């Protein structure tokens, strides 16, 4: 099974022009990975017919399973179906049941079906149709030359359920999935990539080539993946090694698996029966959105405020006007007032606040663009921190959010252990720390 | 110039396992596209040395410019530099200036440099170094065999400025960029892909093969790109055709270029000297974040509330308890109260509210998961709408936000034209529409 060669061809000029993120790679790679099947390669090419034919021929020759995405739609630039049929020596045949499904979909939306939609009603003469519950273009499934071809429509809300509900079960029935993850992932926060490698040497180094190690750094976090492609180490042994890493990591350990920083915080909040409220300026909703991406967030998340104007800080969070006049909105004093204000307004146990200059404009000599003040209100007191970020607006926002979440996480871990949290040390609120 | 063949090799198991989005493709594809250079292909492969060597050899043979990302870091799975040097027949030489820069970077962060970082201090014997202002691994630049190789580090906050500030100017000096976009993009909202093609036939059909047309549908929007790879139509002619499309599109026209729905709303708000406040439950900060992603948002965006608990709706937005008891939080009545409440609290001209069940849990028989109520408060009155979405939580959230933004956009366009907006029609607030 481990040797099944999967290849993904993603079609679309919009991907190569950087206009759309390649979410198909992320989704399909992860879905296969969770089943122990490893995508070996992903190739993104243009909608040009010659390019499609050449790439498909090459991928088909070297793979066991080829998955294509995109190019099945109704418009003139959708050529994949025709080109691939030709390479495989298959006929395209009109399928009345697809036509009927497309027409029914238009009727349900109260729209008239235009004739160009009919090109989506063709299937391979020796192949199956994967019905599309969320759009007009069905997927196509072909078994030929001892290989499998899966062709999927481009829109993620059509592709994703089709892959999960139809493709994975069919691959499983053919014995092409291992049904379990082939690696163990250890997530960390607050430690750099090279320092992490050095720290974990005692656990990882003794295994030589039997152990495959991969590090992935992103926005203040580093993930470590352990696997054993040769099979020399069992999955149980890999899990034991991961546990040894956890011991060495201490508070820098985030989770084993795929949970986000926000999810780890959410679990800690739920476990302690705590509630959280957040207040943001510069990150403008990104912090709140991290929590509300978690199903069942209403159990622990009281709510949040995005307070751009000084008016809104006073109106929604009871920030005293004096603080804004004396210290400005980008100050540890305002961060502390926001964190305390939102927690008290919403009756939450914890309050987390972010204020700062995300750029590209704004900033002062003392607090240039990239300056972020965080504040954390806890049952034991309220504290602030200053971060200095660089990079474009979106990166500053994301790292400010990650910094805030990691601080909350460490505080909740300490509270759970019954230790004195940082916030409960007898130090003055508003003290700025780098 | 048009024939310069660019290819991007993105390295990293984390991409193929779907653990990290391939943001390098999005960033580099867009950056090249803006300069009229089209990325012809992107291949994502694993960190395995044999795979890297085979792919690099193939890509190098068929391209004029090869760009690689990732695999330049300090850890044991970073092998790109060594493998590519071997394929090109180059030596790797130790570069003292890189070592010094890495050490200085660690010193600045107050950390000790571990020895594994030294592998990043090697450059190609016949090549240049691209200094890295934001990380430890420098980029590498090689001109050989009449081709260019650019090797970039994986973290986006290191890669992106390196590409913009160093790589693009070097490519430009070699005459490998056209310095202007090679296509015109027309963005639309609220019209389907096939209907759009039919609607624009009168403008587009007469040009046959001279005109290359691409459609891209995403979350309630469809983008149309016009280009002329053969050069038969000039850029000016393409722009004229785009203008003819705009005329046919009417209110379904969003913009020419790359502006987001939120950006178009922001420009309309600024142009009319209006301010906006938002209130959300199900979308939990995503709506606010769309606006605060725009630099200078404080000029038109008063702020927003993420009100998960009923307590927070009453406390922050003055939603009457009666409404929550009688109609529930997922109701047009509550949406209207939220929109009006947040606009009045923050003194904004417009208030936009979203409430609903994003799933996977929650929902009632009457309002199942995916039910979203929107409300729009305007100077002319307040209105609500009901949307029925399907799909996973993140898709429901994104489409609810896009639906709300498109409604606001149409209202602002009508207000600008001085027409009666929908909201000023003499109809009762709270009237639900599909």
Kindly report, residue by residue over A254-275, the tens digit of the pLDDT: 999 989 999 999 999 999 999 9
Residue B250 clears pLDDT 60, i.e. is over it: yes
Selected residues 301-340 of chain B with any CB under 8 Å from a CB in chain A: 301-309, 311-312, 315-316
- Is domain A261-424 classified as CATH 3.90.950.20? yes
Q: Using CB atoms, which residue from B116, B154, B316 is nearest to A305?
A: B316
Selected residues 398-427 of chain B with any CB under 8 Å from a CB in chain A: none
Look at A22 and B26 and tell me if their CB atoms are within 8 Å.
yes
**Range B235-267 burial, b when 16+ CB lie within 10 A, else e:** bebbeebbeebbeebeebbbbeeebbbbbbbbb
Report ipTM for this prediction. 0.77
Tens of pLDDT, residues A222-241: 999 999 878 899 999 999 99
Question: Which long-range contacts does B342-345 make (Cβ < 8 Å, 24+ apart)?
Answer: B342/B277, B342/B278, B342/B279, B342/B304, B342/B305, B342/B316, B342/B317, B343/B277, B343/B377, B344/B318, B345/A312, B345/A315, B345/A316, B345/B277, B345/B316, B345/B317, B345/B318
Helix (H, G, I), strand (E, B) or coil at A432: coil
Q: How far is CA B352 from CA A204, B332, B403, in A?
A: 53, 13, 11
Residue A172 clears pLDDT 50, i.e. is over it: yes
Which one has a higher pLDDT value, A429 or B324?
A: B324
Q: What is the number of helices (H) and of strands (E) in chain B?
A: 15, 17
A360 and B CB contact within 8 Å: yes
End-to-end CA distance of chain B: 51
Give the nearest chain B residue to A278 (CA atoms).
Answer: B306
Q: Is B115 exposed, middle or buried (0-12, 13-18, 19+ CB in 10 A)?
A: exposed
Residues A45, B108: Cα–Cα separation, whole Å:
42
Give pLDDT, residue B30. 92
Give pLDDT, residue A428. 38
Lowest mean pLDDT among A189-193, A358-362, B152-156, B193-197: A358-362
Task: pLDDT band for B273, please (50, 70, 90 cuts).
Answer: very high
User: Where exactly are the structural domains of chain A?
Assistant: 6-173, 183-256, 261-424
Tens of pLDDT, residues A127-145: 999 999 888 889 999 999 9
Residues A145, B143: Cα–Cα separation, whole Å:
42
Residue A296 clears pLDDT 80, i.e. is over it: yes
Write out the H or E segment, with its range, that includes residue B362. none
Beta bridge partners of residue B253, listed in sequence order:
B188
End-to-end CA distance of chain A: 50
List CB contacts (< 8 A) between B404 and chain A. none
Selected residues 210-249 of chain B with any CB under 8 Å from a CB in chain A: 212-219, 223, 225
Give pLDDT, residue A420. 52
| Closest by CA position to A114, among listed A102, A126, A123 | A102
In terms of CATH, what superfamily is A6-173?
MoaB/Mog-like domain (3.40.980.10)
Q: Where are the beta strands (DSSP E) in A26-91?
A: 39-45, 65-69
Selected residues 190-209 of chain B with any CB under 8 Å from a CB in chain A: 192-195, 197-198
Give the nearest chain B residue to A45 (CA atoms).
Answer: B41
A–B interface: beta-carbon pairs under 8 A: 352
Give the nearest chain A residue to B304 (CA atoms).
Answer: A306
Those residues whose C-beta lies under 8 Å from the C-beta of residue A262, and which sit 6 or more positions away, are: A290, A291, A293, A294, A405
Tens of pLDDT, residues A375-426: 999 999 999 999 988 777 888 899 899 999 999 999 999 998 886 545 444 3
Lowest mean pLDDT among A334-338, B193-197, B383-387: B193-197
Look at B393 and A293 and tell me if their CB atoms are within 8 Å.
yes
Residue A431 clears pLDDT 60, i.e. is over it: no
Look at A305 and B306 and tell me if their CB atoms are within 8 Å.
yes
The dihedral over CA atoms of B108, B111, B114, B120, expressed in degrees to the nearest 10, equals -30
Task: pLDDT band for B427, please (50, 70, 90 cuts).
Answer: very low
Give pLDDT, residue B249. 95
B77 and A CB contact within 8 Å: yes
Give the nearest chain A residue to B192 (CA atoms).
Answer: A111
List CB contacts (< 8 A) between A182 and chain B. none
Give pLDDT, residue B303. 92
Q: Where are the beta strands (DSSP E) in B221-320?
A: 221-227, 253-256, 276-280, 301-307
Rounded to a whole number, what is the distance in Å from the CA of A35 to chain B's nearest CA?
11
List CB contacts (< 8 A) between B156 and chain A. 395
Residue B32 clears pLDDT 60, i.e. is over it: yes
What is the dotted CATH code of the domain comprising B183-256? 3.30.70.600
Which one has a higher pLDDT value, B128 or B391?
A: B128
Query: What average pLDDT does this structure show over B101-124?
Result: 83
Task: pLDDT band for A112, please (50, 70, 90 cuts).
Answer: confident
Which one has a higher pLDDT value, B424 or B40?
A: B40
Q: Share the mean pLDDT of chain B.
A: 89
Rounded to a whole number, what is the distance in Å from the CA of A30 to chain B's nearest CA?
4
Treating both helix axes as pointing N-terminal to C-terminal, what angle do A393-417 and A261-271 enclose, rounded to 10 degrees?
Answer: 30
Give pLDDT, residue A289. 92
Look at B298 and A309 and tell me if their CB atoms are within 8 Å.
yes
Q: Share the mean pLDDT of chain A.
A: 89
Q: Calculate what percentage of chain B has a pLDDT beyond 70.
A: 96
β-strand pairing of A128-130 with A65-69: unpaired
Look at A25 and B22 and tell me if their CB atoms are within 8 Å.
yes
B19 and A CB contact within 8 Å: yes
Rounded to a whole number, what is the distance in Å from the CA of A130 to chain B's nearest CA?
17
Task: pLDDT band for A47, please (50, 70, 90 cuts).
Answer: confident
Those residues whose C-beta lies under 8 Å from the C-beta of residue A199, and which sit 6 or more positions away, are: A191, A248, A249
Q: Is A159 exposed, middle or buried (0-12, 13-18, 19+ CB in 10 A)?
A: buried
Which one has a higher pLDDT value, B256 or A121?
A: B256
Tokens found for residue A425:
């040390």
Which one has a higher pLDDT value, A263 or B21?
A: A263
Tell me if A6-173 shares its fold with A261-424: no
List CB contacts (< 8 A) between A263 and chain B. none
φ/ψ of B287, rounded to 5, equals: -65, -50
Beta bridge partners of residue B397, listed in sequence order:
none
Residue A1 clears pLDDT 70, i.e. is over it: no
Q: Using CB atoms, which residue from A192, A218, A282 is nearest to B111?
A: A192
Q: How far is CA B34 from CA A116, B9, B12, B218, B256, in A?
A: 31, 20, 26, 21, 14
Look at A284 and B291 and tell me if their CB atoms are within 8 Å.
yes
Query: What average pLDDT does this structure show over B38-47?
Result: 93
Residues A40, A51: Cα–Cα separation, whole Å:
20
Rounded to a whole number, what is the distance in Å from the CA of B298 to chain A's nearest CA?
6
Q: Calculate what percentage of chain B has a pLDDT beyond 90.
A: 62
Rounded to a whole number, what is the distance in Å from the CA of A284 to chain B's nearest CA?
5
Lowest mean pLDDT among B53-57, B169-173, B207-211: B207-211
| Closest by CA position to B70, among listed A186, A214, A219 | A214
Residue B96 CA, chain-centre distance (Å), reads 39
pTM to 2 decimal places: 0.80
List CB contacts (< 8 A) between B301 and chain A. 308
Beta bridge partners of residue A139, listed in sequence order:
A130
Task: pLDDT band for A432, please (50, 70, 90 cuts).
Answer: very low
Look at B42 and A15 and tell me if their CB atoms are within 8 Å.
yes
Task: pLDDT band for A103, please (50, 70, 90 cuts).
Answer: confident
R_g over Cα of chain B? 26
């Amino acid at each position: 099974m481990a040797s099944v060669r999967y290849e993904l061809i993603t079609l679309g000029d919009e991907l190569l022009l950087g206009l759309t993120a390649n979410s198909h790679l992320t989704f399909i790679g992860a879905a296969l990975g969770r089943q122990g099947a490893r995508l070996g390669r992903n190739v993104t090419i243009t909608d040009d017919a010659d390019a499609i034919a050449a790439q498909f021929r090459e991928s088909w020759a070297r793979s066991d399973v080829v998955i294509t995405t995109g190019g099945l739609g109704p418009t003139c630039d959708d050529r994949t179906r025709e080109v691939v049929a030709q390479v495989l020596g298959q006929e395209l045949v009109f399928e009345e049941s697809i036509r009927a499904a497309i027409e029914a979909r238009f009727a349900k939306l109260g729209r008239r079906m235009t004739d160009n939609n009919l090109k989506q009603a063709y299937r391979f003469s020796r192949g199956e149709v994967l019905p599309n519950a969320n759009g007009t273009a069905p997927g196509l499934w072909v078994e030929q030359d001892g290989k499998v071809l899966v062709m999927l429509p481009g829109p993620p809300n059509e592709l994703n359920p089709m892959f999960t509900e139809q493709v994975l079960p069919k691959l499983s029935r053919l014995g092409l999935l291992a049904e379990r993850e082939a690696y163990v992932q250890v997530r960390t926060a607050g430690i750099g990539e090279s320092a992490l490698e050095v720290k974990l040497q005692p656990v990882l180094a003794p295994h030589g080539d039997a152990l495959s190690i991969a590090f992935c750094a992103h926005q203040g976090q580093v993930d470590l993946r352990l696997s054993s492609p040769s099979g020399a180490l069992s999955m149980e042994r890999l899990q034991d090694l991961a546990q040894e890493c956890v011991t060495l990591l201490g508070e820098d350990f985030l989770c084993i698996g795929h949970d986000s920083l926000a999810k780890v915080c959410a679990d800690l909040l739920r476990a302690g029966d705590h509630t959280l409220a957040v207040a943001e300026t510069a990150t403008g909703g990104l912090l709140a959105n991290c929590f509300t991406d978690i199903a069942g967030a209403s159990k622990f998340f009281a709510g949040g405020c995005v307070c751009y104007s000084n008016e809104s800080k006073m109106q929604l969070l009871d920030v005293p006007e004096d603080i804004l006049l004396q210290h400005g909105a980008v100050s540890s004093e305002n961060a502390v007032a926001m964190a305390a204000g939102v927690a008290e307004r919403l009756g939450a146990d914890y309050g987390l606040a972010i204020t700062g200059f995300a750029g590209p404009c704004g900033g002062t000599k003392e607090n240039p663009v990239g300056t972020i003040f965080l504040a954390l209100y806890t049952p034991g007191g309220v504290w602030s921190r200053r971060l200095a970020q660089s990079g474009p607006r979106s990166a500053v926002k994301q790292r400010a959010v990650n910094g805030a979440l990691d601080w909350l996480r460490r505080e909740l871990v300490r509270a759970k252990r019954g230790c004195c949290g940082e916030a409960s040390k007898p130090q003055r609120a508003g003290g700025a720390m780098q």
